[in-house]
Amino acid sequence: MRSLFYIDRNRIFYYGGNTASPIELPFPPSVVADIEVLDEIELTKILSEFIKKNKIQHSSTLIFFSPSSFFKRDLPDSLKPEEYLLQKQKFIENVPFNHVLETTFEIKPEIKTVVVVNRDFTYSIRNVLQKLGFTIEAIIPSFALFSDQQINFNTTTAQTIMKHFSSLQKISFPILESKQNSVQEESEEYESPAEPSRSRLYIMISIFSILIVVLIVVFMTFRSPKISTKIKTAPISKPVIVNSPTLIISESILPSPISPTDRPKNAVSIQVLNGSGIPGQAEKIRDRLSAAGYENVDVGNAPQLNSSNTQIVVKPNVSLNHRVEVQKTINSISINSIIRENDEIEYDILITTYADATTN
């Protein structure tokens, strides 16, 4: 079963099915005005009551626009393509609808007629009828069938439209919203706010990053142990005196500012004089020095003098290494010693033991 909904500016007619003549439903101004749907929910309610009241059966139907419910513009077929597109675009821009459905007819000789309808209004009517169980087969402007004729919608007009039902389906406006139009509409609606939204996003990210850095700094500050400003001093203990051989280094143990590099041990001449009166003491020191690598060692006796330390006299050109090693060698046999410089001695190193020097 087929039917027809004829759309006028502020009213709608139904014809088809079990009705013998068109049935009219005026649109309340608060619901539809000047080909604009103001309240789609209320429109659904009104049409639902209209269908129930007139016992209209669900069917395949056409939405047919009267001459007063669309806009058209004739353009010469002789226009160049770019000029034609320019004129067409100017016409569409002057139509008082936010969004339009447009199509072109070549009914008149050498004329292209551009026809546009209110897309939002058209799809609102479509949505309501689909909710009420109708199948929309085509959306047609009256120009497609009647050209520029002024028509009154009556039974004869309705029957004429119904006779061309199948052929009209081929020249319908898009029944479904085209993806391209939807994308274009979304682009138009959201293109302007995009930049501010993106800027706000960048600002929020920056603020969030700064907060994270601040939190990390605060966390690390409280986590780090506090450094006490009080300096704890260790108690000073009394010195402990140990009766053992001591290494006494006087200022003279250090070589003069200008000192040659170390000479080989066998090139260092050493004389050991026994001034303690203890037999074999000088020889014992010589043996220890020889074992340490000092082979150029002479021994002899010296007048006995009372002293607590063995005297080690070195020439200024004797290196620090030789001085320290010789003194350690003497101390290794439990003899306390002290070292000093003198450039008037015959040997590089002169060692003199004294009466109070201890030995094992």
Instruction: Output the pTM of the full model.
Output: 0.51
Rounded Cα distance between 3 and 59, Å, is: 6
- Mean pLDDT of the chain, nearest integer: 82
Which CATH architecture group holds 2-178? Answer: 2-Layer Sandwich (3.30)
The pLDDT of residue 220 is 80
Which amino acid belongs to residue 354? Y
What is the rounded average pLDDT of the residues 283-311? Answer: 86
* Strand locations in 218-261 (E): 247-249
Q: Which residue has the higher pLDDT, 184 or 45?
A: 45
Q: 4: which 2 tokens? A: 């027809």
294: three-class secondary structure by DSSP: coil
Least confident window among 212-216, 248-252, 347-351? 248-252
Closest CA to 102 of 51, 165, 167, 172: 172
The pLDDT of residue 247 is 45
- pLDDT over 90 at 23, yes or no: yes
Cβ atoms of 271 and 351 closer than 8 Å: yes
Beta partners for residue 312, in sequence order:
339, 351
The pLDDT of residue 353 is 86
For CATH 3.30.420, the residue range(s) in the chain are 2-178
Reported confidence tier of residue 232, pLDDT bands at 50, 70, 90: very low
- pLDDT over 80 at 186, yes or no: no
Cβ atoms of 327 and 337 closer than 8 Å: yes
For CATH 3.30.70.2390, the residue range(s) in the chain are 247-352
Reported as a single tens digit per residue, the pLDDT across 109-163 is 999 999 999 999 999 999 999 999 999 999 999 999 999 888 899 999 999 999 9
What is the rounded average pLDDT of the residues 13-34? Answer: 91
The pLDDT of residue 355 is 67
| Angle at CA of residue 174, ends 169 and 180, nearest 5° | 155
- pLDDT over 70 at 217, yes or no: yes
Give me the CATH topology for the region 247-352.
Answer: Alpha-Beta Plaits (3.30.70)
Rounded Cα distance between 332 and 316, Å, is: 24
Rounded Cα distance between 25 and 13, Å, is: 6
Rounded Cα distance between 187 and 238, Å, is: 92
Closest CA to 42 of 54, 140, 33, 55: 33
Reported confidence tier of residue 198, pLDDT bands at 50, 70, 90: low
Beta partners for residue 85, in sequence order:
none
Closest CA to 88 of 109, 99, 98, 102: 102
- pLDDT over 90 at 91, yes or no: yes
Rounded Cα distance between 37 and 339, Å, is: 119
What is the rounded average pLDDT of the residues 332-343? Answer: 84
Gyration radius from the chain CA atoms? 61
The pLDDT of residue 71 is 95
Reported as a single tens digit per residue, the pLDDT across 156-185 is 999 999 999 999 999 999 988 765 454 444
